[in-house]
Amino acid sequence: MSLENLELYKSHIHEYGFSVINHIFSDEEIQKIIDVLNHIDTSRENFRKSKDLFAIRQFLKEIPEIRDLIFNDNIQKVVKEIFGEKYFVVKSIYFDKPETSNWYVAYHQDLTISVDKKMDLPGFGPWTTKQNQFAVQPPLDILENIYTIRIHLDDTDENNGALKVIPNSHAKGIYRPESINWNEETEEICMVEKGGIMIMKPLTLHGSNRTTNGKKRRVIHIEFSDRELPEALKWSEKLN
């Protein structure tokens, strides 16, 4: 990865709301991550299991031994060069979409952040609480500032639930999926190789289809911000 390439990816994200960069992790690095995942105690309450989806919320907090494997030199370089020096982790989730999954995700924006408590603050709301975890829709400028990295542990294409996105939709504020004008908008499938990443702005409309090729799709989803929240509110998953 050369630095001048990162400038290209950065401008693509700025213009279209997403970009794919392959070869961020070697096969050996991915295998080490998978080995850790294969040996975790899945009975904890932040783990969600169904035949269609296995997910771990607060992933980097729950599995701290995986952090050094994930933040290899390439990821650190991407964060620093594309996002900026001051960015830190504010949310992390692990998704495993099994081979037989019928898990289908309709078009949506990622509109909530994870915080440590519920407070009455102007511009913050609605609020939700899951297992003592607080999520809230913050003011637009906070959402516009976030970057998401999705690390792919498997080759992903349109047949095993690769993300589909609507380019430029991140620049239109809150964009209700039911109001998508398909005469104006286009859809793009984001194919990512094993060991590659997809970078996305959370306001980019995205969804995924069911798996049809009997192949796994395992993804580590990490969100980054450089903002402190107002008053006494804090990011619940902040990691420097």
Q: Name the domain count of the chain.
A: 1
CA distance 156 to 17: 19
Give me the domain span that covers residue 211.
3-225
Query: What is the structure's pLDDT at 74?
Result: 97
151 lies in a domain? Answer: yes
- The dihedrals phi and psi of 75, each to the nearest 5 degrees, come to -65, -40
Instruction: Supply the pLDDT for residue 82.
Output: 97
* 232 assigned to some structural domain: no
3-state secondary structure the chain: CCHHHHHHHHHHHHHHCEEEECCCCCHHHHHHHHHHHCCCCCCCCCEEECCCCEEEECHHHHCHHHHHHHCCHHHHHHHHHHHCCCCEEEEEEEEEECCCCCCCEEEECCCCEEECCCCCCCCCCCEEEECCEEEECCCHHHHHCCEEEEEECCCECCCECCEEECCCHHHCCCCCHHHCCCCCCCCEECCECCCCEEEECCCCCEEECCECCCCCEEEEEEEEECCCCCCCCCECCCEC
Identify the pLDDT of residue 2. 55
Please indicate, yes or no, if residue 53 is contained in any of the structural domains.
yes
Whole-number Å distance between alpha carbons of 19 and 44: 33
Whether 118 is covered by a domain: the verdict is yes
Specify if 238 maps to a domain: no
Q: What is the CATH number of the domain that holds 169?
A: 2.60.120.620
Tokens linked to 10: 């950065």
CA distance 44 to 63: 11
Instruction: Kindly give, in sequence order, each residue whose CB lies less than 8 Å from that of residue 201, ignoring residues fewer than 6 positions away.
Output: 13, 17, 18, 144, 146, 147, 148, 170
Q: Does residue 44 belong to any structural domain of this protein? A: yes
Per-residue pLDDT of the chain (240 residues; tens, 9 = 90+): 555 689 999 999 999 999 999 999 999 999 999 999 998 887 877 787 777 668 899 999 999 999 999 999 999 999 999 999 999 999 999 998 877 777 788 999 999 999 999 999 999 999 999 877 899 999 999 999 999 999 999 999 999 889 999 999 999 999 999 999 999 999 999 999 999 999 999 999 999 988 888 888 999 999 999 999 999 999 999 998
- The dihedrals phi and psi of 222, each to the nearest 5 degrees, come to -130, 130
In a domain, 239, yes or no: no
